[in-house]
Amino acid sequence: MTDQPPHRPLAGALWMLGAVASFSAMAIAGREVGAALDTFEIMFWRSLVGLALIAAFAGASGRWRTVGLQRPHLHLMRNIAHFTGQNLWFWAITAIPLAQVFALEFSSPLWVILIAPLALGEPLTRRRLGAVSLGFLGILLVARPDAGAIEPGILAALAAAVCFATTAVFTKRLTRHESVVSVLVWLTALQTVFGFACAGFDGDIAAPGVHWPGVALIGFCGLAAHGCLTRALSLAPAGAVMPVDFLRLPVIAALGWLLYAEPLAAATLAGGALILVANWINLRRARPRRVPVL
């Protein structure tokens, strides 16, 4: 047995293209559904769809036996961070151009660098600090702060990236002891509970109605994206497949331009490029690890 992932970069890249397509489709569907449902309602219905899908998968594949709850406090903290970040992300995609949201979301691995020493005991090296510094310059380009207040949508997207980084750190700790299926089951179950509580706080949970296809697409794409990402990392080292994920930025920028006439702002693309380069610097010498597969 070896700790290194098998070197099948072409297969890994194809799976990463699936993740790119899934994340992009979820953003478009989220913007369309966001016109009728608030973010809590989107999260409730999306999580309900996701729970049904992962339960069906676990049952059909015989993986229910791998579902456990050995560390409930980690599941709770992980899902609070993810629920918060996902709500902020769904709100941000309705408030600012999609390219800005995705560019800021790519800063999530850089926040992991800052959080990991405290949560995982990983070293904070000069190379990683350099990557964070370069990524921060990219964030400034994307956000374009001026003497006035920064747009709430930009703050929401940036806060979502921090929440996703926190989620990733807790996920890494959980997958040391539990299967990916177990993590996904508790993810969708807790997100459904959180979504129901928050959406029903005012005593009114709107039904998707004609937006059911969009909600179902969001639920499916959310699971598909993470499944494709996990599978890609099981087939090849992160440094070989993660750069494919960077295609999300030009893809979503093009979709935003075609579907919503969003301008292709040079500062957003330049800032996104800096953030991607910072991620690449961090990936280049990161020791590849085997990622548990579904």
Question: What does each of the 294 residues of the chain score in pLDDT, given as a tens digit?
Answer: 444 545 677 888 888 899 889 989 999 999 999 888 999 999 999 999 989 998 898 888 888 888 877 788 888 998 999 999 999 999 999 998 998 898 888 888 778 777 777 766 667 778 778 877 888 888 878 877 654 567 889 899 999 999 988 887 887 777 777 877 888 888 889 999 999 999 988 778 888 888 999 999 998 998 888 778 777 766 776 666 667 777 888 888 889 999 999 888 888 888 888 888 887 777 665 544 444 444
**Coil, helix or strand for 143?**
helix
Sign of the Cα torsion 7, 10, 12, 13 reads positive
Element (H, E) at 55: helix 39-61
C-alpha distance across the termini of the chain, in Å: 19
This prediction has a pTM of 0.81
Cβ 53 vs Cβ 22: under 8 Å: no
- Best CA proximity match to 187, nearest among 33, 88, 43, 291: 43
**CA diameter of the chain:** 58
